[in-house]
Chains A and B, each alone.
Chain A
Amino acid sequence: MNAQDREQFREFMVSRWPDLVRLAYGLTGDRWLAEDLAQTALAGACAAWWRVSRAEDPDAYVRRILINASHRRFRRRRPAEQTGTLPQARSTDPAADHGADPAALADQRSDLITALRGLPPRQRAVIVLRYWGDLSDAQVSALLGCSEGTVRSQTWRALAKLRVSPALVDEDSQ
């Protein structure tokens, strides 16, 4: 990698880092793992920068590295790891949340992440990419390497599970 490529990649990394960490957080529910996965994806993109920089959609390329790394990690995951690191509470902005109780909002957010973590990896990825990443079925299918029909069916199944997820049902009953 020459100096010009290095500078280009540095700019790419700095601009994409926040969204990659957020995507990884949605996929894993764990802040530390999310940052680790984002670093892994960017290191992979750095190794293939000549290909990434010439790709039609470099963002999609890096997202795909991240999603694949996330799935590999999930296959190796052990139960103790799930409880080893918990997401840290985030600060809330009451003004943005229309004056709602910040503690209750933090609880709700944890409930949503808990519910997402209860989904299989592919369903979780479909939900995060469609509803947070605002990607079309075609874009999601290209990222996950499956058909658009599979994306739709996985979305339907994931939504059905979320509606009966204990984490969100408890929240509704409060």
Chain B
Amino acid sequence: MKLTDEAELRRRLHQELDLAELPPAPVDAVFRRYRVARARRLAAITSGVAVVAAALGVLAVHGPGPAKVPAGRPQPSTTLNQPNRADSGGVFASGTINGAKWWLAAVNLADPGYRCLPAVVLDGHSGDLLQPGFLPGLALGNIAFLAVNPGRPGIGFAFLQLRPGVTGLIADLGDGTRLGLRPIAVTVCGQRFRLAGFGYPRQGVTEITARSAQGRQIGYAPLAGIFNPDSPFQYGSWINVPGGVAGPIASGYIGSGRIGGTSWRMLVTLGPDGECFSAQVGPTGGLGAASVCVPVDVPPLGVSLVPLPFASPTGVLIWYPGAVNARTAYLLARLSNGTATRLAPAVVGGRKYAVVGVGAGVKLTRLTLYDASGRVLAEVTSIPQAQ
């Protein structure tokens, strides 16, 4: 076939591009990116205003005078400690970055007595589920980045779930640091994973290279957008590469009900996007949907609620889905209109969940968890507010 005429090129391009099978529009992901970008812009404006205000304050106190050279910032430094084998807590990497200590460990994030859910946690929290297999696309294996952590500005973390035979890892960081990484074999939930992890400064990671089982040099250069403060990637959540092709590890409904005559049900999905709660409004979700994703955390002693608002024609509905204590037999939700609702938890992916939905103008004021013998396990009165 010759590309000698433009009509032939047009036909070939349509044949190539139009036949591609596409996933549905990722409505929630786009809205998440928009919200994160907006939050960053606001944060930048706020910090800019603070800097200007501070500068004006200094001028007001000292008046004009000779310019002083600002004290230099300490240079970022990264250290990485890798045990020869995973310690009893599953730790496969630890170290300090800009003076702050951190550690990465492979643990089970399911409740005791249920199915196992292997994951990597940072400092015991902010978990990312380990994939049961390898995602197509990268010869190294699966790679995950925890984009700049809101609790530690300017610091990120990464871990690799390596394919068999991949050795000799080197991570080049954006500040010029070169880290030598060694895969550590960790057994979680009866499965053996070869993991490596490291922390990186705000400049991000420029390249990760390794030697494949066949002795070939293989590499991966992350998208710069992952580390760009202006990028729409969601900070505070793990970014799995390539995340779009991995399916959920577990999924199931955790509750349903009616608010003002409108039916709803709540789905939780555990997968590469973390722990995602999706509310479907109407009999088949035809009246709308809302969703939110958070990192998978260790099962709570009480309850970890994630507010999820939805703008309906009659006002804003708010759901409070979340993981609950593994021993919870039932919950009692008290609302600002004086009513109380008894809820039953549901188990999805070996984790226990519950959800409360409230209508416009009504607030959840108290949530009490009970065990099977009717004893109070936990009580929450400071309910997180929807943004």
Answer whether A and B are interacting partners: yes
Given contacts A40-B33, A84-B221, A92-B19, A162 and B244 within 8 Å (CB-CB): no
B26 lies within 8 A of chain A by Cβ: yes
In angstroms, Cα B245 to Cα A50, docked, is: 33
> Which parts of B202-259 form the interface with A (CB within 8 Å)?
206-207, 209, 219-221, 223-225, 232, 242, 244-245
With a cutoff of 8 Å between Cβ atoms, the chain B residues found around residue A56 in the complex are none
Q: How far is the CA of A81 from the CA of B207 in the complex (A)?
A: 9
User: What CA separation (Å) do A10 and B242 show in the bound complex?
Assistant: 25
Q: Within the assembled complex, what's the spacing in Å between the Cα atoms of A167 and B31?
A: 39
**Which of B1, B20, B26, B138 is within 8 Å of A172, CB to CB?**
B1
Given A78-B206, A92-B19, A172-B1, are A43 and B33 also a contact pair (CB < 8 Å)?
yes
A140 CB within 8 Å of chain B: no
Q: A73-B225, A80-B220 are in contact. Are A6 and B18 (CB under 8 A)?
A: no
Residues of A within 8 A of B22 (CB): 17-18, 21-22
Q: Report A-chain residues with C-beta under 8 Å of the C-beta of B9.
A: 127, 131, 159, 162
List residues of B (267-293) whose CB comes within 8 Å of A's CBs: none
Chain A's nearest CB lies how many Å from the CB of B358?
Answer: 18
**Chain B residues whose CB sits within 8 angstroms of the CB of A168 once the complex forms:** 2-3
Given A6-B311, A112-B13, is A47 in contact with B37 using a C-beta cutoff of 8 Å? Answer: yes
Interface residues of B, CB < 8 Å — how many?
48
B15, B25, B34, B209: most-surrounded residue (chain A CB, <10 A)? B25
A168 to chain B, nearest CB (A): 6
Q: C-beta contact mask, B302-335 vs A, less than 8 Å → 1, else 0? A: 0000000001000000000000000000000000
The B interface is mostly helix, strand or loop, or mixed, namely mixed
Is B343's beta carbon under 8 Å from chain A? no
- Docked pose: A171 CA to B207 CA in angstroms: 34
Contacting residue for A84 out of B10, B30, B138, CB 8 A: B138
Instruction: Choose one: B4, B10, B20, B311; the contact of A3 (CB below 8 Å).
Output: B311
B116: interface (CB < 8 Å): no
Chain A positions 149 through 174: 1 when the CB is less than 8 Å from some CB of chain B, otherwise 0: 00000000001001100001001100
Q: Does B164 contact A (CB under 8 A)?
A: no
List residues 3-19 of chain B with CB under 8 A from any CB of chain A: 3-4, 6, 9-10, 12-19
A90 contacts B21, C-beta separation under 8 Å: yes
Chain A residues with CB below 8 A from B139, complex form: 84
Q: Are A10 and B27 in contact (CB under 8 A)?
A: yes
Q: Which of B16, B23, B311 contacts A112 (CB 8 A)?
A: B16
Please tell me if A61 contacts chain B, counting CB pairs below 8 Å: no
Q: A80 contacts B207, CB within 8 Å?
A: yes
**A17-B26, A80-B209, A128-B17 given. 19 additional CB < 8 A pairs?**
A17-B24, A21-B22, A35-B26, A39-B26, A40-B33, A46-B34, A47-B34, A73-B225, A76-B224, A80-B220, A80-B221, A85-B137, A85-B138, A109-B12, A112-B13, A112-B16, A159-B9, A163-B4, A172-B1
The 21 sampled A-B contact pairs (Cβ below 8 Å) are: A6-B311, A13-B30, A17-B24, A17-B26, A31-B20, A39-B30, A39-B33, A46-B30, A47-B37, A80-B220, A84-B138, A92-B19, A93-B19, A97-B15, A112-B16, A127-B9, A127-B13, A132-B17, A134-B10, A159-B6, A172-B2
| Minimum-distance CB pairs A-B, first 9 | A80-B219, A17-B25, A43-B33, A78-B221, A3-B311, A46-B34, A132-B13, A81-B221, A22-B17
